[in-house]
Amino acid sequence: MKLPFIIIIDDDVQVLRAIQRDVRNKFREDYKIIATESAIEALEAVKELKLKNETVALFISDQRMPEMEGTAFMEKAMEIFPEAKKILLTAYSDIEAAIKAINNLNLDYYLLKPWNPPEEKLFPVLNDLLDDWQNSFIPEFAGIKIIGYQWSPASHRIKDFLTGNLIPYKWIDVELNKEAAELIDIHKIDSAELPAVLFEDGTLLKCPAEIDLAKKIGLKSTALEELYDVVIIGAGPAGLAAAVYGGTEGLKTLMIEKRAPGGQAGTSSRIENYLGFPSGLSGADLTRRALTQASRFGVELLSPSQVVDINTKENYKILSLSSGSEIKTHTVIISTGVDYRTLDIKGISELTGAGVYYGSATAEAHSCKGKNVFVVGGGNSAGQAAMYLSGFAEKVFIVIRRSSLDSTMSRYLIDQIDKTKNISIISNSNVVEVKGENRLECITLENTKTGQQMVNEAVALFIFIGARPVTDWIKLNIFKDSKGFIETGRDSCKYENFKKIWKLERDPYLLETCIPGIFCAGDVRAGAMNRVASAVGEGAMAIKLVHEYLVSV
Ligand SMILES: Cc1cc2nc3c(=O)[nH]c(=O)nc-3n(C[C@H](O)[C@H](O)[C@H](O)COP(=O)(O)OP(=O)(O)OC[C@H]3O[C@@H](n4cnc5c(N)ncnc54)[C@H](O)[C@@H]3O)c2cc1C
């Protein structure tokens, strides 16, 4: 834990040395001490401490100093560390100024010089004030701080990235949190440069790109090896399971993730049907556990890093990354999952990230406190999001096209929703328009039966309307079904030009595509079950098949 500071200022060197010696002898174990003859120098030091996220517990200042009086110094210092205790060092002649400061400045004590013996005249006072400070002091949040406007898409992008990568942060809303003005002033941030991200070491990044944030939080973007046994594309449940099994099997394994590990499951507030977790677990928790497991077994992770192309050269597979670099591997597992479908209605592109969100219920739930929010979609992901949001919002409305949730949502979720007083279902309805100046202010719903439209005030709209496979980046001739899901195993054999591509005597393995050595697992696979458990199972199974492939080449 960081030690708090005691700052001592006195222009008389003899007095300064004496009080510094006494304070140091008694308090050096628990406090760091800065002593200076100059009030201006002291103020600079105080500002510097604030920039470094340090804390000041106590100011001890002489009253009569040439650069500025002690009371003037205290006034300025209190703007930076308002909770710190304040002692004025005074001569007899300055008692009047000290008493004035007690009233005007909330001075905690005035200490008459000299203070001998310190055991009687100095330490009891300091002990008392520092105890008091410790009792009321709430340590400042020590991690990453994001300062910005709630309804800015860039703020949402940064919060979403850090949440997805399991990095805790403190959100400081410029319009609601007083701390924002102070930080903006200290760090000289122009409002056009927001959002700004402040790190524990004092580094400030203004409106950073994900790649800059990734570097700063220590995520890796370059591969260590020349050649891998297996490269897994996508770190959702399927990819994570493949990584863990690849690592435990001793394969040289690399996993590449374009956004944040966890995939769709990572955005889930509560997965209740995953084996072995009777009271459920959050997607973030599942991801954290899996990542720890994978890294324990030596799996490398590149994130955020996007695979943009895949090619074969003899028996090798060559992956191209968006950074321009290439990775060579014996085998590949494609586990790129699915992406949310977007809602194509009037006004939506301008407000995405500014009140309209795709699958980010956990990152934005706090901003919905006491407000009305809408969730669009009748599947399990919409149900989970509504349940999670109901803990924050005044009212949650689930908008569905059908007349009930019965055919689209699991029974356990429907039961939970029925029992939750602040969730209502708006059935037979579509969202047809969203409106707002700089942020979402209202949405228009249309009844599918009557055509009647209704405008509703809303601060947030969370959209969960199904998904499409993430396969359009694949130019290689891998068979996909009519919706773009990847075919595997014997299902590839039914394609007309299968024999032109597949030249081995054996059929493709169960999770192998029509290109030998390229496997596929999870939601992106044609016929997948769209569940965490099945994605995990397929990821594990894919590694077993990778093994079989490797011994056969
Ligand atoms: C909100 C929500 C709640 C859910 N709740 C449950 C539940 O309670 N129980 C349950 O069983 N299932 C649940 N599901 C479904 C479950 O999460 C999915 O079935 C599962 O995540 C599929 O895993 P996956 O690894 O196949 O794909 P995904 O989870 O989709 O992961 C794919 C990953 O690949 C990455 N990627 C894509 N393209 C590239 C590329 N070119 N380069 C690098 N990386 C790439 C993506 O960024 C993503 O991280 C839920 C889904 C959602 C959205």
Q: According to the model, what pLDDT value does residue 104 have?
A: 77
Query: In ligand 1, which atom is closest to the CA atom of 385?
Result: 1
Q: Read off φ and ψ for residue 358, nearest 5 degrees.
A: -105, 110
As a whole number of angstroms, the distance between CA 261 and CA 267 comes to: 10
Of the candidates 227, 222, 228, 224, the one whose C-alpha atom is nearest the C-alpha of residue 251 is 228
- For residue 55, how far is the Cα from the chain centroid? 25
Going from the C-alpha of 240 to that of each of 162, 225, 529, the distances in angstroms are 19, 20, 17
Query: In ligand 1, which atom is closest to the CA atom of 273?
Result: 9
Using CA atoms in the order 338, 339, 344, 349, what is the torsion angle rounded to 10 degrees? -170
Q: Label the pairing between strands 518-520 and 169-173.
A: unpaired
Is the CB of 84 inside a 6 Å radius of any atom of ligand 1? no
Q: According to the model, what pLDDT value does residue 500 have?
A: 93
Q: Are 122 and 22 in contact (CB under 8 A)?
A: yes
As a whole number of angstroms, the distance between CA 77 and CA 149 comes to: 28
Is the CB of 306 inside a 6 Å radius of any atom of ligand 1? yes
As a whole number of angstroms, the distance between CA 221 and CA 305 comes to: 6
As a whole number of angstroms, the distance between CA 173 and CA 215 comes to: 25
Mutate to test the pocket of ligand 1, among 232, 339, 340, 532 (most ligand atoms within 8 A of CB): 532
| HSE, side-chain direction, 13 A CA sphere, residue 529 | 11
Q: According to the model, what pLDDT value does residue 100 have?
A: 79
Is the CB of 271 inside a 6 Å radius of any atom of ligand 1? yes
Which residue, by CA, sits nearest to atom 41 of ligand 1?
Answer: 307
Is the CB of 307 inside a 6 Å radius of any atom of ligand 1? yes
Cis peptide before 469 (omega within 30 of 0): no
Is the CB of 233 inside a 6 Å radius of any atom of ligand 1? yes
Is the CB of 7 inside a 6 Å radius of any atom of ligand 1? no
As a whole number of angstroms, the distance between CA 78 and CA 133 comes to: 14
Q: How far is the CA of 145 from the centre of ligand 1 (A)?
A: 28
Is the CB of 532 inside a 6 Å radius of any atom of ligand 1? yes
One-letter amino acid at 66 equals: P
Mutate to test the pocket of ligand 1, among 336, 362, 364 (most ligand atoms within 8 A of CB): 336
Q: Label the pairing between strands 429-435 and 442-447.
A: antiparallel
pLDDT in tens, the chain (553 residues): 689 999 999 999 999 999 999 999 999 999 999 999 999 999 999 999 988 888 999 999 999 999 999 999 999 999 999 889 999 988 877 788 888 777 777 888 888 888 888 998 899 989 989 988 988 787 777 789 999 998 899 999 999 999 888 898 999 999 999 889 989 998 999 999 999 999 988 899 999 999 999 999 999 989 999 999 999 999 999 999 999 999 999 999 999 999 999 999 998 888 888 998 887 888 998 999 999 999 999 999 999 999 999 999 998 999 999 999 999 999 999 999 999 899 999 999 999 989 999 976 677 888 888 999 999 999 999 999 999 999 999 999 999 999 999 999 999 999 999 999 999 999 999 999 999 998 999 999 999 999 999 999 999 999 999 889 999 999 999 999 999 999 999 999 999 999 999 999 999 999 999 999 999 999 999 999 989 999 999 999 999 999 999 998 8
As a whole number of angstroms, the distance between CA 147 and CA 170 comes to: 9
- Helix (H, G, I), strand (E, B), or coil: what is residue 164? helix
Mutate to test the pocket of ligand 1, among 161, 240, 264, 476 (most ligand atoms within 8 A of CB): 264
Is the CB of 269 inside a 6 Å radius of any atom of ligand 1? no
Is the CB of 24 inside a 6 Å radius of any atom of ligand 1? no
Which residue, by CA, sits nearest to atom 37 of ligand 1?
Answer: 336
Q: How far is the CA of 246 from the centre of ligand 1 (A)?
A: 19
Q: Are 439 and 355 in contact (CB under 8 A)?
A: yes
As a whole number of angstroms, the distance between CA 501 and CA 512 comes to: 13
Q: Are 91 and 56 in contact (CB under 8 A)?
A: no
Extract the tokens encoding 355.
């009140």
Q: What contacts 459, CB < 8 A, 6 or more positions away? A: 355, 367, 368, 371, 372, 373, 439, 440, 441
Q: According to the model, what pLDDT value does residue 30 have?
A: 94
Q: According to the model, what pLDDT value does residue 362 have?
A: 76
Of the candidates 82, 41, 83, 34, the one whose C-alpha atom is nearest the C-alpha of residue 60 is 34
- Whether pTM exceeds 0.85: no
Q: How far is the CA of 138 from the centre of ligand 1 (A)?
A: 39
Count of CB atoms within 10 A of residue 213's CB? Answer: 21
Q: According to the model, what pLDDT value does residue 272 have?
A: 86
Q: Are 254 and 330 in contact (CB under 8 A)?
A: no
| HSE, side-chain direction, 13 A CA sphere, residue 97 | 18
Q: Which residue has the tokens 């703007």?
A: 79
Mutate to test the pocket of ligand 1, among 161, 244, 268 (most ligand atoms within 8 A of CB): 268
Q: According to the model, what pLDDT value does residue 1 have?
A: 66
Is the CB of 336 inside a 6 Å radius of any atom of ligand 1? yes
For residue 254, list its beta bridge partners: 231, 300
As a whole number of angstroms, the distance between CA 294 and CA 108 comes to: 54
Q: According to the model, what pLDDT value does residue 101 have?
A: 79
Q: What contacts 133, CB < 8 A, 6 or more positions away? A: 4, 57, 58, 83, 84, 85
As a whole number of angstroms, the distance between CA 23 and CA 6 comes to: 9
